[in-house]
Amino acid sequence: MEQNKMGVLADEAKVKPWIIGLSILIPVVVAVLLFMPTKFGEGAPWVYFLPHLNAVINSAATVALITGLIFIKKKEISKHKAAMSTAFGLGAIFLVSYVLYHGMAESTSFGGEGWIRPVYYFLLITHIILAAVALFPILFAYYYGLTDQREKHRKVVKFAYPIWLYVTVTGVVVYLMISPYYVN
């Protein structure tokens, strides 16, 4: 048992710099893609389907997250792991799709007016900020869950889970609010 714990700790020392590096690199790459003046592959018609796909992925991730919570409350650990791995996998697919879209298409402007405008921007800004910071605790929570470090997993999940759930839900809400303004 002690050898196994030492192996996990040694692995954590190797994994931690990767988690920190990815948690910094991915938001920076996304920011660069959002604000770069020229898009690569601009005008490819298939790219305009991606926001719709992203909303479906975020919806499915939300369901997986809630299902994972239900399973852990019932102490069904293997089902919890499956649900959370599904959410994690969907998050990875979403990220690739999101990066592709924002690397290839101009951002869509929100056209709503009146009281809905500040609501939209509040949701959008909190979504973006929390999505940028969420990766760090999500990656650690997932790593601790995979390596069966339950105490560390529980501590990180207290922060990671509500942020992750908020990001997936607000991602869908922001999509629904801006979808009438998509060009294609």
Distances (CA, A) of 1 to 4, 38, 98: 5, 55, 42
Total domain count, the chain: 1
Q: What is the per-residue DSSP string for 127-149?
A: HHHHHHHHHHHHHHHHHHHHTT-
pLDDT digits (tens, 9 = 90+) for 157-184: 999 999 999 999 999 999 999 988 776 5
Average pLDDT estimate for 38-61: 86
**Structural domain of 9:** 2-181
What pLDDT is recorded for position 3?
Answer: 43
Task: Using DSSP, state whether 23 is helix, strand or coil.
Answer: helix
Q: What is the CATH number of the domain that holds 78?
A: 1.20.120
Q: What's the pTM?
A: 0.86
Query: Is 43's pLDDT higher than 70?
Result: no
